[in-house]
Structure 1
Amino acid sequence: GFKNLIGSKRTALRNINAISTNAKYAHFNDALMKYRNKIQSELCENCKEISETIENYILPNCSDHKESMTFFLKMIGDYYRYIAESSKDDKRAEAKDLATAYYNRA
């Protein structure tokens, strides 16, 4: 499911970041950064796709169910938080703002 897909990418990014800080692996930095960028790009794409699916297909059917609406709004906030955790600069700020907005709506 989506949880495993996103969770494995977040774990991979944490592992890459940990390895890249170890001087023992400094000679792998270029390869690590290429792989990190690939995983980060996939994570962002997956999170946005999931968020858009929830926003466009699930939320319109939850308007009468406050608990469900809250659950899915928080979920979208979580996916934008994952993007913010793995991004830098403008992309990070935008994702952080979106996460906050969805958490506030929830």
Structure 2
Amino acid sequence: MKARRLVLTDEAIEDIARWGRVLAHARGRAFALDWSDAFLDWLEGCAARGAQLGTAHPVHTAFRTFGYRRQATVLAEFADDELRIVRVYFAGQDWTQ
């Protein structure tokens, strides 16, 4: 497997930032920053390992979904040289649309 470059769409960046604001309000800024750093490190590791993760999206078959620690569902597209994170969904959000 060939390592991929991690790419985050603007929507994915906003999804992570929005969740960070929720976590900061509920658990504090330090916790939110630690969570975001751990999540981004994990995504970097997924890209570096090169394997395609997850399940094909039920409607948009070019996309795949996979989970992060039962806390988030990641909508991604795998290309030859990149792992493109399209969206990140959290509890209560419908990832199928």
Is the pair's TM-score, using the shorter chain for normalization, greater than 0.5?
no
Report which of the two has the higher share of strand. 2
Question: Greater RCO between the two (CA within 8 Å, min separation 6)?
Answer: 2
Output the TM-score relative to the length of structure 1.
0.32
Structure of greater Rg = 1
From the two aligned structures, give the one with the greater helix fraction: 1
